[in-house]
Amino acid sequence: MVQDIRPISKPLPGRLTTPSAPTTATTEEKPTKPGRVAQAKDIASRLWAFEGKNSRINNITAILMVAVAFFCYNIPQIILEWMLVGLAFNWIITTYATLTTWFWLRLHDVSFINPTRLATLAITAAIDYFPGADASIILGFTWTIGTIILIAIVRAEDMTGINIEKIIKGKFSALKE
């Protein structure tokens, strides 16, 4: 198992913490409220460091998914778009990317009943199907950004223990009765 050496301000779930030595200082420090940037960095470090038996997507799979999205979907589409051939053929890469991403996440027990995951995948594909979208710098990396968002959603659900699928399935089963 790879040891995470980045400093973390708060202990993560499942990690052992060592008790620190008692301090003899008599001055009490006022707790300061961290800013939004510090909170975002803390959340990002927790999402990255979340590696346990409850995680559906481990770090190696996440890195591979982002690398495939970048090198196999986005870069070829940008190159084809700048060669003006992409206007006719990028839909093939987009269809393959959509199906591959869906299948890869289904292999890791990530369903798309959750509206946020379904909307993320659908919006990513819809932007990419638009002819000429890959010619711009920002919209050229839709699959990389979409994959990172999907991984963050899954990891956030795994960390909090919220299971949207059970909630939605429970509401639909109540409607059937």
* pLDDT > 60? residue 167: yes
Range of the domain at 143: 56-176
CA dihedral sign of residues 106, 110, 114, 117? negative
pLDDT at 47: 64
Does some domain include residue 114? yes
Q: What percent of the chain has pLDDT over 70?
A: 71
Does some domain include residue 128? yes
Does some domain include residue 8? no
What average pLDDT does the chain have?
80
Does some domain include residue 44? no
pLDDT at 147: 96
Instruction: Report residue 139's pLDDT band, with 50, 70 and 90 as the boundaries.
Output: confident
pLDDT at 160: 83
* pLDDT > 60? residue 4: no
**Domain count of the fold of the chain:** 1
Does some domain include residue 96? yes
For 79-138, what is each residue's pLDDT tens digit? 998 898 888 889 999 999 999 999 999 999 998 888 889 999 999 999 999 888 888 888
Does some domain include residue 63? yes
Does some domain include residue 152? yes
58: exposed, middle or buried (Cβ count in 10 Å: 0-12, 13-18, 19+): middle
The structure tokens listed for 120 are 């993320």
* pLDDT > 60? residue 14: no
Higher pLDDT, 131 or 1: 131
Does some domain include residue 28? no
* pLDDT > 80? residue 19: no
* pLDDT > 70? residue 66: yes
